[in-house]
Chains A and B, each alone.
Chain A
Amino acid sequence: MKEFIGRVVTPGVVTAPAVVSHGGLNTLASFQGALQFGDKKATCGDQNNPDLYNKQLAGKALCLPQTIGSTTGGLVLYCACAMERQPACMLFSKPIDSLAAAGAILASVWLEGGNMPVVDSLGDEFLNYVKDGMSITVKDGGVVCVE
């Protein structure tokens, strides 16, 4: 078990299995098919992301450096949260980008019960250490336990 400490963007406590993207997560490309066509598992549809393509994102601890791509990214995450198809939490090795931050903040302010814990700045070592299927626990204060 290893513990990492980052910065809380939106608070919350959760335990979930990890899915890991070593490249930037293109939110629109990843979620659009799943949200549009009723895939409750939110299977990743981004052909350019070999780490995540065809893997379930809903309910997982999504570990990534940052998100990239279309500025619909934030509203796509917001919709995923409203439709309860969001990751259990999002854990960023780098400081969060503006689109992911928007999605998490919009869900936190405008949705009841759609909150998704988000921690950023966990460092490169976090992303090197964590592997698909590892158990992730997000605790208060930006503490992330990986085992």
Chain B
Amino acid sequence: MYLTDEQQAVLNGSQGETMAKVMKTLVMYGDAFGADKLVAVTSEYNHLVTSFGLKMMKPVFDLMQQLIDAGAISGQKFSVDPRPLDKNVPANFLQNLIFNKIMYATQESYEKQLEQLGLMNDQAFTCACYFDEVGNTPKKGDILSWAESSAVVYANSVLGARCNRNSGIMDVMGSIAGCVPNFGLLTDEGRKATWIVKVECKEKPEAQLLGSAIGMKVMEDVPYVMGMEKWLGTELNDENKAYLKDFGAATASNGAVGLYHIANLTPEAKEQDEALIAEGAQVYVIDDAELKRVQDNYPVMWKNPAAKPKLCFVGCPHLSMEQLIRWTEDVEKGLKESGNKKVLVPTVFTTAPAVKEAFEKTEYAARLKATGVVLSYICPLMYMNNPLCKAMPVMTCSNKLRTYTTARFYTEDEILTKITKGV
């Protein structure tokens, strides 16, 4: 890989041993993928995936401290994934004890490290940092050093920024050095679609199911999705952005997709049309039967598959303002139809702290509260990541949460029926 004189000097130790290691990490990373050079990070903010003070992550905290002690801090401020704890989320005595005293005992000290490294502010904890309310929204063409699979795929696909699927820790390395290796999704060639996905469903497919099917099929390749125009139109309005957020998160967690194109909708597809499709691209046709096959094959990890759900999570990735309003109206409507006053399953909606704050200023906040739904900024995935929750029948409409935990997947309509009507 070509290095400038300055980059070579850093690699040789001109800024100390720690910065030399940072540069060596980036150079080895680039060499593994045939990068030709290091390019400057151009986004205003970075986004890190590691928000949780899990005890198992001591090696990460040690590394972070090594960086801080050497003055190797991020050149950009950054947002970070959601906090793993929120006292508003239902938990029993034992769960609280395990969460606070054992699993996340290092949360407070880790958040101090994040502040020292360059955290935007104490509200910047969300997987959906690109929401307007949060303020970390890259511009088209910006080069990023982000991690968080759902944020990376959104930034690439919906915003037209350029970012590889960087791992945690690698994300902050790029931000400290101010540069990232030029390969993969940073290049025009790497952004071409190697799969054509033809959606031939009779009705608008559930975003999280469609994304799951595509992720499992194309893995880390780039899909060009056709046939969505009749439902999504050609404009990136708030509803479409929320749909694509959930769709992308499923492609990234059920596979390893870092970029997708939606014909006539996402920025590069609108500009370049089918010129974005690489020669020899494979074809995957998705119809209702294929989506049913995918959903039917999800393993049910509940000890008793017929158990009554004890908890429901909606919002992985975090819900947008538009989704919060829509869910509030839908829950109210469902309760009215069933004659119930409150949801029948303890239910938690999750969103970014800044969106929560904005939502709480609207009339919908009181209406949602009246339904019994709890609104939280928590990361449901981190909440579920312990043996007590593993034994609990939790349901979700998030395919990401289903993938990493024992939560059982239901479509949004199924979830709505279960929490408002109990069937």
Q: Do A and B bind each other?
A: yes
Binding site for B on A (CB under 8 A): 9, 24, 26, 28-29, 32, 35-37, 47-48, 66-75, 78-79, 82-83, 96-99, 101-103, 105-106, 108-111
Q: Interface on chain A toward B: helix, strand, loop, or mixed SS? A: helix
Chain B residues near A28 (CB-CB < 8 A): 404
Contact digits for B263-302, partner A, Cβ 8 Å, 1 yes 0 no:
0000000000000000000000000000000000001010
Chain A residues near B252 (CB-CB < 8 A): 69
Contact B253 A105 (CB under 8 A): no
Stretch at the interface among B166-174, B201-209, B229-237, B323-331: B166-174
Which of B28, B59, B220, B387 is in CB contact (< 8 Å) with A105?
B28
Q: How far is it, in angstroms, between the C-alpha of A27 and the C-alpha of B375 when the chains are bound?
A: 30
Contact digits for B27-70, partner A, Cβ 8 Å, 1 yes 0 no:
01100110000000000000001100011111110110010000
Q: How far is it, in angstroms, between the C-alpha of A101 and the C-alpha of B183 when the chains are bound?
A: 13
Nearest-Cβ distance from residue A27 to partner chain B, whole angstroms: 9
Binding site for A on B (CB under 8 A): 21, 24-25, 28-29, 32-33, 49-50, 54-60, 62-63, 66, 103, 147-149, 152, 164-171, 184, 219-220, 252-256, 299, 301, 385-387, 403-404, 406
Contact B60 A75 (CB under 8 A): yes
Query: In the complex, what residue of chain A is closest to B55 when comparing beta carbons?
Result: A36
Q: How far is it, in angstroms, between the C-alpha of A147 and the C-alpha of B69 when the chains are bound?
A: 48
Nearest-Cβ distance from residue A83 to partner chain B, whole angstroms: 7
Contact B167 A99 (CB under 8 A): yes
Given contacts A66-B219, A75-B60, contact A101 B149 (CB under 8 A): no
Query: In the complex, what residue of chain B is closest to A118 when comparing beta carbons?
Result: B32
Nearest-Cβ distance from residue B260 to partner chain A, whole angstroms: 15
Contact B170 A66 (CB under 8 A): no
28 of the cross-chain contacts (CB-CB < 8 Å) are A26-B403, A28-B404, A29-B404, A36-B54, A47-B299, A66-B256, A71-B166, A71-B167, A72-B167, A74-B167, A75-B57, A75-B60, A75-B169, A78-B60, A78-B63, A79-B56, A79-B59, A82-B58, A82-B59, A96-B32, A98-B166, A101-B32, A101-B33, A103-B167, A105-B32, A106-B63, A110-B63, A110-B66
Given contacts A71-B152, A79-B60, contact A98 B25 (CB under 8 A): no
Q: How far is it, in angstroms, between the C-alpha of A1 and the C-alpha of B63 when the chains are bound?
A: 41
Query: In the complex, what residue of chain A is closest to B23 when comparing beta carbons?
Result: A109
Which of B54, B59, B63, B169 is in CB contact (< 8 Å) with A74?
B169
Q: How far is it, in angstroms, between the C-alpha of A99 and the C-alpha of B271 when the chains are bound?
A: 30
Chain B residues near A82 (CB-CB < 8 A): 58-59, 62
Given contacts A68-B220, A110-B63, contact A102 B170 (CB under 8 A): yes
Q: How far is it, in angstroms, between the C-alpha of A28 and the C-alpha of B170 when the chains are bound?
A: 16
Query: In the complex, what residue of chain B is closest to A104 when comparing beta carbons?
Result: B32
Chain A residues near B299 (CB-CB < 8 A): 47-48
Contact A71 B165 (CB under 8 A): yes
Contact A69 B168 (CB under 8 A): no
Query: In the complex, what residue of chain A is closest to B167 when comparing beta carbons?
Result: A74
Chain A residues near B58 (CB-CB < 8 A): 79, 82
Contact A71 B220 (CB under 8 A): no
Chain B residues near A78 (CB-CB < 8 A): 59-60, 63, 169
Contact B256 A97 (CB under 8 A): yes
Nearest-Cβ distance from residue B142 to partner chain A, whole angstroms: 18
